[in-house]
Amino acid sequence: MSYTLRERNGLAVPFAVWGLATVLCTIAGPFGTHAVLDVVPRFFYWAGIVALSVLGTAFCIRMGGMLPRRRRAVLWAGYVITLSGATHLVNSALFETWQGASHFLYLLGIVGVTVIVVHGAITLAKSVFAPADDAVPVDMQAVFLRRIPLEKRAPLIRMEAQDHYLNVVTHAGSALVLMRMQDAVDALAGVEGLQVHRSHWVAQAAVAAHRRDKGRDFLILSNGDEIPVSRSYRPFVQEAGLI
C-alpha cells in the first residue's frame, strides 16, 4: 500500500520522538538508572521503555478519536496501568532493589502524571496554534475520510450503523470504521448530507430517486442502494427536497 506524504510524515513523528526521548533519557539516566546501568545497557533499557510509551500513546490517540468520552477515559486509564505494570516487571527483573507494591504505585503515579501533562501540553498547543476564524475552511469530508483505507477514499455515498461500527460507502468501495453514527454525523456537519434513519446517513448528491411502498419511503442512491427513511427523520428529508 502506498502512503501519501502526510501519512509518511505522520509515521516519522513517533520515530523522531522515540529517538530523541531515548537519547535524552540515556544521557540523564532518570529514576536512578544512571547509577545502576552503564551507558550501553541504559540506552537499550530506555529504548524499550520509550518504545512502549510511544506505541501505546499512538494507539490510544488513534483509537480514542473513535470512542465516546467515557470509553476514551477507560482506554487511557488502561494504558497507564499496562505501561506501569510492564515497566514494573522489567525493573523487578533488572534491579534487585526494585520490588513490591510501593514501587508499582510509584510508577503508576509517574506515568499517570506524565500522561496528564502531555495531554495538557497538546491541548495548550492546539489552542495557541489554532487557525483564525477567517482561515481557509477545513474540508470535513476529507478529514473524515482519513479514517478509512487509502484505496477506499472517495466522495461519500452513505453510512450505515452496524453495532459499534459504521459501514462507510464511497465511490471507491466500502469500509468498516469504529465510530458511532452520531459522532460521524457531527464530524460531517459541513458536508451536504443528512441522517434519514437512526442507522443511515446519505450524501445528498448521491440520491437519485425516491420510492414509496406501502406507506414507507425509500431513497434510491446512485450506486443502486435503497435506504429507508424513518418517520422521525422524514420532515428533514422533505425539507432537503429529497422526497
Q: Over range 171-191, report the average pLDDT.
A: 88
How many C-beta atoms lie closer than 10 Å to residue 56's C-beta? Answer: 19
Residue 22 counted as domain residue: yes
- For residues 117 and 78, state if they share a domain: yes
Query: Which pLDDT score, from 0 to 100, does residue 168 have?
Result: 94
> 74-129: per-residue pLDDT in tens?
888 999 999 999 888 988 888 888 878 888 898 889 888 888 887 777 667 666 65
Query: Which pLDDT score, from 0 to 100, does residue 101 have?
Result: 86
Q: Among 72, 105, 128, identify where a domain stops.
A: 128
- For residues 183 and 225, state if they share a domain: yes
> 148-177: per-residue pLDDT in tens?
888 998 899 999 999 889 999 999 999 999
- For residues 117 and 185, state if they share a domain: no
Query: Which pLDDT score, from 0 to 100, does residue 6 have?
Result: 45
- For residues 87 and 163, state if they share a domain: no
Residue 134 counted as domain residue: no
- For residues 52 and 156, state if they share a domain: no
Q: Which long-range contacts (CB under 8 A, 24 or more apart) does 180-187 make?
A: 180/68, 183/66, 183/68, 184/144, 184/159, 187/140, 187/143, 187/144
- For residues 104 and 192, state if they share a domain: no
> 195-222: per-residue pLDDT in tens?
999 999 999 999 999 999 988 999 999 9
Domain span including residue 95: 5-128
- For residues 123 and 202, state if they share a domain: no
> 41-51: per-residue pLDDT in tens?
999 999 998 88
- For residues 26 and 112, state if they share a domain: yes
Count of domains for the chain: 2
- For residues 165 and 201, state if they share a domain: yes
Residue 133 counted as domain residue: no
